[in-house]
Amino acid sequence: MQRVFKTRHFSRWMRKTELTDDALCSAVREMSQGLIDADLGGGVVKKRVGLAGRGKRSGARTLVATNKSNLWFFVFGFEKNERANISTEEREALQTLAQDLLSLTDKELDVEVEDGSLQEICHDNQN
């Protein structure tokens, strides 16, 4: 069973964009099929996601912590017009975060969802 989450930080950023949970779920379906824009190492991948009326080219860039099979965590996002990429320091911090998130058990993930640190999306076998 696939589990897809977004962090509190990512959710805050997402509210400022036109990005939807449905678009994130669609991105996970694509990534599950190997359509990843860049593997940044350490369990972090980059995926372009289209914004309403703009498509993927001028849309959002999402960074996802994943084991590339059943766990997907949207951890960082930015619009293409905001910045070109992330710094080495940011990448290393995201890789550390990815290790922490990917090591959580199902029970620990449920606790994170309960306290609001993570929000689970893509319910009811949408993936």
Does the residue 127 lie in any domain? no
Does the residue 126 lie in any domain? no
Identify the pLDDT of residue 52.
66
Does the residue 7 lie in any domain? yes
pLDDT range class, residue 95, cuts 50, 70, 90 = very high
More confident residue, 108 or 81: 108
Residues 6+ apart with CB under 8 A from 86: 63, 76, 78, 94
Does the residue 17 lie in any domain? yes
Q: What is the pTM of this model?
A: 0.91
Identify the pLDDT of residue 28.
95
Does the pLDDT at position 55 exceed 60?
no
Does the residue 72 lie in any domain? yes
In the chain, how many domains are there?
A: 1
Range of the structural domain that residue 60 is part of? 3-121
pLDDT in tens, 105-124: 999 999 999 999 999 998 75
Identify the pLDDT of residue 106.
94
Dihedral class, residue 112 (left if φ above 0, else alpha if ψ from -120 to 50, else beta): alpha
Does the residue 21 lie in any domain? yes
Does the residue 22 lie in any domain? yes
In the structure encoding, which two tokens stand for residue 117, read together?
């640190």
Task: Report how far residue 27's alpha carbon sits from residue 25's, in angstroms, rounded to the nearest whole number.
Answer: 5
Does the residue 65 lie in any domain? yes
pLDDT in tens, 15-32: 988 889 999 999 999 999
